Structure formats: C-alpha cells, structure tokens
Chains A and B, each alone.
Chain A
Amino acid sequence: MSAGWDSETKETVKKIPLLTIRAGPRDKEEWGKRLKEELQALIKYIQLNKATDSDWFTITSGKDGTTWEGKCWYIHNLHKYEFSFEFDIPATYPAASPEIKIPELDGKTAKMYRGGAICLTVHFKPLWAKNCPHFGIAHALCLGLAPWLAAEIPFMIDEGAIKTSS
C-alpha cells in the first residue's frame, strides 16, 4: 500500500474491516461465513461513504453471493456520470481478485479488457495477493473501481465518449 493511490483512498481502506476467512464459492460452509464478512465490510464501507458525503455506488448480489452488480457514478464539473458495473467471484477467490466490468464503456477507452473488464493498476494485484485473504469486495471497489473511475472518466468526457446521465 505504498504507492498508486491517493491519501484519501488509503485512509478509507484502513477503515474498512479486514476479512478473516479464507474461503471461495466452492467452500460451501466457509463461503457462507466469508460472504457474511464481505457483506459486513461492504455495509461498513457504504456507511463510511454516506458519512463523508462521498457515496459513489450501489451494489446487490445474487443469492449465493457469487455474482454482483450495481451502479457507480462520478461527478465531474457539476455533472453526474453513472454507469452499471458487474463482476463474478472467481473460483479461486480470495486468492484471485474479482474482475469488475463496465460493459457500457466497452470499446470507449483503452484502459479496459475485452468484455468491459477494467484495467486495474499494476499495484493492485500485488497488494491484493499480499493481503489475501484480508481484502474483500469492498476493498476491491475502493482500491480498484474508484481510482479507475477518477482516472478514466474525465478523460473520456473530454473526448466526448460519454454523456452525462443527468
């Protein structure tokens, strides 16, 4: 957690509870526990965001907690830009991080893999691996999606690739 993120993000990440259970979707029993921890971390993270008036996404999961979807938004020059995102929990989770996708932006930016998966920074994966199994979905959103939006959306707005939703 040395470089690659701004100090506010770093502060926020520290406040998100760390997870303890190393279990993926394949581990029936353990995964349930893991999922509970994930949900608690997310609730905490959202509460933090609401408290600091920096709420920037909504998220729901499937019943088993392997597929997640939601909306994220970014405000630039007093205009709100909202996008839908989705991701699945990989089988090797939590050793592998989830791949977050924003399908509607597919093809609009170079910082994206085929299928709309966002291209995370080089720092993310080593950090994730180092903190396995303590990092969860909330951390992935905080350290992955949020910085990506902050870096790419203004660029795309400038290029006229996207339009405001409001």
Chain B
Amino acid sequence: MADFSLEDLQAALQEVQKEKSSARLSERNVVELITKLQDLGLLSEALLHSVTGREYLTEARLREEVGDALHQSGGRLALVDLPTLLGVDFVHCERAAAQAVEDDPDLLHIGGELITAAHLEGLAREANQLLQESGVVAIGELAQLYKLSTELMQGLVEEKLGSLIQGRLHSGIIFTEAYVGRVKCQLRGALRGALRPVQMQQLHRTLGLQVSAGLAGRGAPTSALVEELVREQALQGSLRAGGEVWVPAAHLRAQQDAVLTFFNQNQYIEYSMLSKLGVVDNQLEYIYPLVPEGFALQSAFVDAALLERVEAAASDALVDSSWVDVHPLLPPALNSQDAALLLAECETVEGLGKGGAKRAAEGQVLSATCLVSAEFQAALEEKACNAARSLAAEALEDRKRASTAASTSAPEPSSHSTGKGATAAAEAADDSDDDWGPSGKGSARKKKGSKRKGGAPGKTKASSSSTAAAPRQRGQAQQAEHSRHRERLMPEALAELLVEWEPELEGAGEDGGLALALAQELRRPALAAFDQAMQAVFTAGAEARRRQREAIEARLEQAWKNMQATAHGVQALSEALQEPDSAACRAVERHAVRTRGADTADCLLQLLQVDMHEDAQDAQPPGGISAAERTALLNKLPDHLSKAARHAADTANGSDLQAAVAAVQALSEAAGVRLAKLERKAEKGLVAAHAQALRLQLATEEDPAAALSQAIPVLLARALGVLLSIPGKAIGAVTTLLQKHLNETDHQHLSRFHKLVVEQLLSDVKDEGIEQELQSLVPVLRHMAGIDANQTAHQ
C-alpha cells in the first residue's frame, strides 16, 4: 500500500465509504422485525415456529414436509413421530396432518397414525401370504403383528376378504378352506372313536388345535364343524354344556342300559350310583322317563315293588297287633330316611294320619321307620305302669328305711360325745330307789330318764348344730330319693326295660331309637302310674297318722288327768303330813313330777311331732320316748314351740310339780292343744279306777316290796281320796300318816311289813326268816287294801 499515490488513497477512502455496510441484525431484532411485519399485516399467512424457536415456517411448508415424512416412512407414520422428524410442535403437526387427511382421500388417520391406503393394501397382501402358509391366523395375532387395533384389523380383513385375502372368517379367526377341511376330518375321526363324553378343550389339545382352541372357546369353529358333522350324520351324539362336551350316542345307550340293568336287578338305584354311571345333573329328570312307576327317595330311586313290600309288612304289623321296622326289609343301600319316606308313602300309614281318630288309634309311626300297632303299645304301656307301681312301692320302702335310719342315727354321735356326763349322772344315783316302780319295764324307762337328766344339757349344746341341720338334710335326701326313683322312669331307663321285655326292639328304628321313642310314648302314663301309687300311699299314711294322733290325744288326756290328780294328791298329802317341806313330801312330789309330769310332757311332744312330721309315725313307739329321741324331737320343733317345749321337758325332769303343770299348760297353749281341767267328780272316778287297778295287781303280787308299793297308794287313796304313787323313801312317812286312818293292828302290821321289807332290801344275804314272815304278812296287807280271799266280793 506504500506504493499507492496520495490520490489513489483518497479515492480508495471514498470507495471504502461507498461500500455497503454489512447488516448485523441480532435474533432479537429479527424477531422484532417479524413481529412488526405481522402487526402491520404485511404477511399473508400465519407463521409457525420450529421447536427450537430458531425457525419460522408457513403452514403450507409444514404440510409439504408432513407429506414428505410420510412418504419416506413407507406410508405409515405415527403422529407422535412428526415433531421429532420435522422439529415442529405436535399441535401444528397434528393440524397439518388433519389438513392433509382432509385433502387426500387415500390418507387415513387411524389411532394416532397416518396410514396410506397403499400401505393397508400391502398389509392385507402380507396377511394373506401368512394365512396361506399356516392355514389359520387369528385377527388378534395379525393385529399384534402389524401393531394395529384388533377392530381395525378386523375391518381391514373383512374388507379385503375374498379379494386380497383368500379364506373364511369366523369369530376373529381366518381360515383357509383347506384348513377347515383338515380340522373337520380330524374331528370326525376323533369323535367317531369316542365312547365316553369328551371335553372339547381336551380334544383340542389332543388334536393340536391350540391356535383355534385358545380363541375358539366361545362358539368355536370346531363346535360349528361338529354340528355340521352331526347334521351330515357323519357323527352320532350331541354337544352338551354349551358345546364344551361331546357325548357320543353310544355312551348314552350304554349308560341307560347300565342304569336299567342295575335298577331291574336291585329294584332301586342310588343317586351316587347314577353319578358313578355318569348321570350327574338332573338325575330325577333322567330316571323318571326310564322308570315312570318309581319313587324318588332321599338317597335313591326305588321301584314300586319295594313300596308294596313295605305296605304288606305294615298292614301285617297292624293286623297282628305287633310292630315292624321297615328299614331291615329294604335293600341295605337305602338309609333310614329313605325307609321313613317309603313308610310314609304306604297307604296304611297315610291312612293313620288322615283316617281320623279311629284309624289313628290303630297304630303310629315311631322312630321314623317303625310302625307300632296300638295294641302292642297298649300292652307295653300296661307293663310299664306295673313296673312304675312296683318302683313306687320300692321307693316307699326306701323312704321308710331312710327315715328310720335318720331318726335313730341322728342322735348317735351326741350320746358318744356326752358319754362321760351320762355315766357321771348314773353314778350319782340319788334317786336309785326309783326302782320301786310297779314293773321292771317302767323302772328301766325311768333309769333312762335319769340318765337324760345329766346328759341332756351337754347333749343339746354339743349336738345342736348337727341336729338342727338334720331336718333339712332329711328333706333333701327324700327329695333326692324321690327323683332317683323317677329317674328310673326316664326314657333311657324305660327303653332298657322295654328291650328287656321285648328283646327284638333292640336296635330297631332309626339309629336304633325305637325303644327310646316307645319309652318316650310310655313315659307319661308310667310316670302317672308312679305318682298315682305314691299318692295312694301318701293318703294311706295320712289316715294312719290321723289314727295315731287320736291315740296320742287320748293318752295325753289320760296323762294330763293323772297329772292333775297327782298334783291334788301331793297337795293333800303335804297338808295331811303337816310338814310340806319334809323329805318324804319332796320325794313324793319329785316322783310325781318324774312319772306323771314326764308322761304328759312326752305325750304332748309326740303330738307335736305327729303334727309336724307326717311320716314320723313309725319311728315312735306308742309307749314313750327315750331321752335321745326327745332331744332330737326338741331340735326339730319350730322356733315358736321350741322354747316352751324345752321348758316343759326341763321341768318334767325337775322336782317342782306345780312348775311342771304350769310348763305343760304353757306348751299346750303355744301348740294350740286344748287341755281340759280335771273336775272333782272325774278325779274321784279316776282315783277309784286307779285304786282298783292297783288292787288287781296287788291281788296277784308275790314280791313283798312290790306288794307294799302297791298297797300304800290304795290305802292312801282310801284314807285321803287322792291318787299318788309313793316312792320308797316316803313310805315310812306315809305309813305313819296312815296310823290315823287304820286300826291299831293293821297299822302295826303295816309298820312291821315295811320294816321287814327295808331289812330285806338292805341285807345282802337272803334271810329265810324275814322272807317267811313277809310272805305270811302279804295276805294281811291285801286284806288291809280291801282285798279278800274272795276277790269278787270287792269288785
């Protein structure tokens, strides 16, 4: 440049300045420019952006590009591929594609894809090629292969069928005629060979028809083919279960033969057997047409002949007044419910239900399978009632035994526990000369009484707890006893009895329940008989009790009279002796209390006992009660009586006669027993009668001591007009008293006799002299008492 002249350079400067400046527009400027152009409406068409935002393009250009892309991809292009191919937003591609489809009738927009008609034709040709190769093709498979929807494929195939695709279409599968023919031949062969029902699915597998079988489950072409074969009479049989099972006619014939053979041989056929023979569903519908006269039972279908057999047995049983279990008459395969159904079908039995009372009275069905005639049942009922009666008798026996045992055993432990006290009391023996009683028996009883004196307090205390519980226990025991006997009339026990009487009943009926069912029937009358028998005994017991009560009342009355008379006697004696507190007087009173008072108190207690325990009658001897019994009795008494009764018993054990009388009166009032007051006149009669009784004894009495004890009251009765029995201790005093009422000789004799008796009793060695003198004085004593050698004169 150094060579250039100045002019050149100046010219060059001008040149440089004339050159066009290179336009350097930024993207932003261009965008602004375009926007400006659009605003000004200078652009005729809307412009689209590319995805990158760096390019503008017109819609026409985009349509063109879409066409090119479709062409390049071979006639089929997914719309979603367009944005990546063209670099334009999907919305614009979609719009351009829609526009293209609108413009071009050969272009299809299917499921998001652009497909040209030419492409579809190509697919159809390809499918046809595939079909001709394999013989059968499922549309689903084609659709999967060409990635088209099944509906589209189906439409395509249907459209091209007969033109581009050579074959038959059936439920989504395309076949070639050759294939159909081949399958038909296979089916004909397989089904002709089948002798039993064949599952078509199984057959498909066996024949290797999986392709069609898999899809042809519902209304398979094979079904259609089989039906076609049946129509052509190439096969005999039928498709059952919605085309799932092929049943060959030969099988049906064999099945029917087997069923009929079994039925004719056995007169029945079980449903389980039918199932085994292949008749599983609608068994009754199957068998009824074959054997119209049969009966359907629960587990089997039976011939009418069986019914006749049952009918005959049933009427025989009714006629023979017997019973019959129809189950054993039937084939063993039939269960008891079948037998029951069959029995119910019998005219005889049906008549029982419908024929009114008359027919019903002939018999009844028991334990489901047994018919029992009324006569037979009545006979058994009679036997059962008899058994019940004997059972009732047995029950009463038991009860008696139990009550006896209870009354004797209850105080048992207490007497042991107080044994020491009892012996101590016996040793004391302050009233040992109570032995002077009129008889050995009486003195023995008094000894018991004296023992009771010491024993009673401790005993009552010690045994109160055990004896208080006794009545309740006894009541429970009786109740248990009663129910135990009734239990022997429970159906199970009765059934055992029935089997004993009629061994054939064992095991008869449904589950061997005839005996039990009969027992249920018979139980009510048997129980009634039992209760009736018990009731009868109970009524009889009441009668006995009433009689006993009357007897006790009479005894009580007598004892009460005696007691009152004795009380008067004691009073009169004490007045006559003029020494009320003398030992003799006390001895007499004490003796009176312990004899008369105790008798009265015992009678009263017995009466209460009878009132309270209706079944205690046999436990008490009529003569009197022992100390143990008395204690037991006291414990049994109800509370409102208990106190008065105890008081009466205690005073009867004491020595205060007035107190004893008052106590007896209190007890009688508490118990509501009326005691009559002794009248003067009656007392005289009583004294006379007593004296007379003593005289009678005295007339025959040989023992001097006894004779004295009898003679003294007689003499006293005559002297004072009182009724008294005199204990030994008081005899001396009374003898002295009688001095005033006897002549001298008699009194000397009496004194002498008394002295000798005392001597004799005191001396350990038997003194012959005294004895002889006493013997010689006895007649004198009798004479004094007003007894002559000729007794009739006194009577």
Tell me the A residues contacting B by CB distance below 8 Å: 32, 35-36, 39-40, 42-43, 46-47, 49-53, 55, 58-61, 65
* Pairs A-B, 10 closest by C-beta atoms: A53-B24, A39-B9, A55-B21, A46-B16, A50-B21, A58-B17, A43-B16, A43-B13, A39-B13, A40-B1
Q: Which residue of B lies closest to A49 (CB)?
A: B21
| Complex Cα gap A59–B10 (Å) | 10
Q: Which residue of A lies closest to B18 (CB)?
A: A58
Please indicate the chain A residues that have their CB under 8 angstroms from the CB of B24 in the complex.
52-53
Question: How many contacts between A and B, using CB within 8 angstroms?
Answer: 43
Q: Which single member of A51, A52, A55, A59 contacts B13 (CB below 8 Å)?
A: A59
Contact B22 A53 (CB under 8 A): yes
Query: Please, how many angstroms separate the alpha-carbon atoms of A162 and B486 in the complex?
Result: 142
Q: Which interface residue of B2, B4, B13, B20 has the most chain A CB atoms within 10 A?
A: B13
Interface size class of B (residues with CB under 8 A): 10 to 19
Contact B6–A32 (Cβ < 8 Å): yes
Q: Are B12 and A43 in contact (CB under 8 A)?
A: yes
Nearest Cβ on chain B to A140's Cβ, whole angstroms? 15
A145 to chain B, nearest CB (A): 16
* Contact partners of A39 in chain B: CB under 8 A: 6, 9-10, 12-13
**Least Cβ–Cβ distance between B399 and chain A, in angstroms:** 139
Residues of B within 8 A of A53 (CB): 21-24
Residues of B within 8 A of A35 (CB): 6
Q: How far is the CB of B10 from chain A (nearest CB, A)?
A: 6
Q: How far is the CB of A66 from chain B (nearest CB, A)?
A: 13
Q: Which residues of A contact B12 (CB under 8 A)?
A: 39, 43
Instruction: Show 7 residue pairs from A and B whose CB-CB distance is below 8 angstroms, ordered by the A residue.
Output: A35-B6, A36-B2, A46-B13, A50-B19, A50-B20, A50-B21, A59-B13
Q: How far is the CA of A36 from the CA of B11 in the complex (A)?
A: 12
- The chain B residue with its CB closest to the CB of A56 is B21
Chain A residues lying within 8 Å of B72, measured Cβ to Cβ, are none
B interface residues with partner A (beta carbon < 8 Å): 1-2, 4, 6, 9-10, 12-14, 16-17, 19-24
Beyond A43-B13, A43-B16, A60-B13, list 8 extra A-B contacts (CB 8 Å): A36-B6, A39-B9, A39-B10, A46-B16, A50-B20, A50-B21, A52-B24, A61-B10
Residues of chain B lying within 8 A (CB to CB) of residue A51: 22
Determine how close the nearest CB of chain A comes to the CB of B32; give it in whole angstroms.
Answer: 10
Pick the residue among A32, A47, A52 that contacts B16 (CB under 8 A): A47
Residues of B contacting A52 in the complex (Cβ-Cβ under 8 angstroms): 24
Contact (A60, B14) CB under 8 Å given A35-B6, A36-B6, A39-B6: yes
Shortest CB distance B39–A (Å)? 15
B23 to chain A, nearest CB (A): 6
Distance from B3 Cβ to chain A, minimum over Cβ atoms (Å): 10
Closest to A70 in B: B17
A40 to B14, CA, bound (A): 12
Alpha-carbon distance A53/B10, docked complex (angstroms): 22
* C-alpha spacing A47/B20, complex, angstroms: 10
User: A59 with B6: in contact, given A40-B1, A53-B24 (CB under 8 Å)?
Assistant: no
User: What residue of chain B has the Cβ atom nearest to residue A35's Cβ?
Assistant: B6
Q: Which of B4, B16, B23 contacts A36 (CB 8 A)?
A: B4
| CB contact between A40 and one of B9, B19, B22, B23 (< 8 Å): that residue | B9
Main secondary structure of the interface of A (DSSP, over half): helix
Given the complex of chains A and B, what is the CA–CA distance between A35 and B16 in angstroms? Answer: 17
Does the CB pair A42–B2 fall under 8 Å? Answer: no
Could you tell me the distance between the alpha carbons of A8 and B254 in the complex, rounded to whole angstroms?
Answer: 113
Q: Given A43-B16, A53-B22, A60-B14, verify A65-B6 contact (CB < 8 Å).
A: yes
Q: Which residues of B contact A43 (CB under 8 A)?
A: 9, 12-13, 16
Cα–Cα, bound, A27→B585 (Å) = 204
Q: How far is the CA of A47 from the CA of B22 in the complex (A)?
A: 10
What chain B residues lie within 8 Å of A50 (beta carbons)? 16, 19-22
A53 to B12, CA, bound (A): 19
**Residues of chain A lying within 8 A (CB to CB) of residue B1:** 40
Q: Which residues of A contact B4 (CB under 8 A)?
A: 36
Chain A residues with CB under 8 Å of B21's CB are 49-50, 53, 55
What CA separation (Å) do A115 and B6 show in the bound complex?
Answer: 30
Q: How far is the CB of B115 from chain A (nearest CB, A)?
A: 51
**Chain B minimum-CB-distance residue to A65:** B6
Most chain A CB within 10 A, of B1, B2, B17, B22, is at B17
Whether A42 lies near B13 (C-beta < 8 A) is yes
Per the bound structure, the CA–CA distance linking A86 and B16 in Å amounts to 19
CA distance A4 to B20 in the complex (A): 31
- Residue numbers in A under 8 Å from B16 (CB-CB): 43, 46-47, 50
Shortest Cβ distance from A39 into B: residue: B9
- How many whole Å from B228's CB to the nearest CB in chain A? 89
Q: Contacts A47-B16, A59-B17, A60-B14 given: A36-B22 contact, CB under 8 Å?
A: no
Closest to B24 in A: A53
In the complex, chain A residues whose CB is within 8 Å of the CB of B22: 50-51, 53
A35→B7 CA distance, assembly (Å): 11
> Which of chain A's residues has its CB closest to B2's CB?
A36
Q: Please indicate the chain A residues that have their CB under 8 angstroms from the CB of B13 in the complex.
A: 39, 42-43, 46, 59-60
Residue of A whose beta carbon sits closest to that of B14 = A60
A46: B residues at CB distance < 8 A: 13, 16-17
* Bound Cα distance A43, B9 (Å): 8
Q: Report the minimum CB–CB distance from B33 to chain A (whole Å).
A: 12
CB distance from A43 to the nearest CB of B (A): 5
A43 to B16, CA, bound (A): 6
For A59, the chain B residues whose CB sits under 8 A away are: 13, 17
What residues on B are CB-neighbors of A65 within 8 Å?
6
Q: Which of chain A's residues has its CB closest to B1's CB?
A: A40
B50 CB to nearest chain A CB (Å): 26
Alpha-carbon separation in the docked complex, A51 to B2 (Å): 23
User: Using Cβ atoms and an 8 Å threshold, which residues of chain A touch B10?
Assistant: 39, 60-61
Q: Distance (Å) between the CB of A159 and the closest chain B CB?
A: 28
Nearest CB in chain B: distance from A68 CB, A? 11
B96, chain A: closest CB distance, angstroms:
37
Q: Chain A residue with minimal CB distance to B19?
A: A50
Q: A145–B464 Cα gap in the complex (Å)?
A: 149
In the docked arrangement, what's the CA distance between A106 and B23, Å?
A: 33
In the complex, how many angstroms separate the beta carbon of B511 from the nearest chain A beta carbon? 117
Measured CB to CB, the closest approach of chain B to A47, in angstroms, equals 6
Q: Within the assembled complex, what's the spacing in Å between the Cα atoms of A35 and B21? A: 25
Residues of B contacting A40 in the complex (Cβ-Cβ under 8 angstroms): 1, 9
Chain B: minimal CB distance from A34 (Å): 11
Nearest-Cβ distance from residue A25 to partner chain B, whole angstroms:
13
A64–B353 alpha-carbon span in the complex (Å): 159
Measured in the bound complex, the distance between the Cα atoms of B16 and A42 in whole Å is: 10
Give Cα A53 to B16, complex, Å: 14
Can you name the residue of chain B whose Cβ is closest to the Cβ of A64? B6
Once bound together, how far apart are the Cα atoms of A47 and B17, in whole Å? 8
- Report Cα–Cα, A124/B654, bound state, in Å: 167
- List the B residue with the shortest CB-CB distance to A46: B16
**Residues on the B chain within 8 Å of A60, using CB:** 10, 13-14
CB distance from A96 to the nearest CB of B (A): 22
Which residues from chain A contact B14 at a C-beta distance below 8 Å?
A: 60
Chain B nearest CB from A143 CB (Å) reads: 19
CA distance A32 to B5 in the complex (A): 9
Please give me the residue from chain B that is nearest to A40 by CB atom: B1
Cα A55 to Cα B16 in complex, Å, equals: 11
* Distance between Cα atoms of A47 and B19 in the complex (Å): 9
CB distance from B11 to the nearest CB of A (A): 10
B20: chain A residues at CB < 8 Å are: 50
Residue of B nearest to A61 (CB): B10
**How many angstroms from the CA of A110 to the CA of B12 in the assembled complex?**
37
Complex Cα distance, B784 from A29, in Å, reads 225
Q: What's the least CB distance linking B30 to chain A, in Å? A: 14
Q: Which residue of B lies closest to A42 (CB)?
A: B13
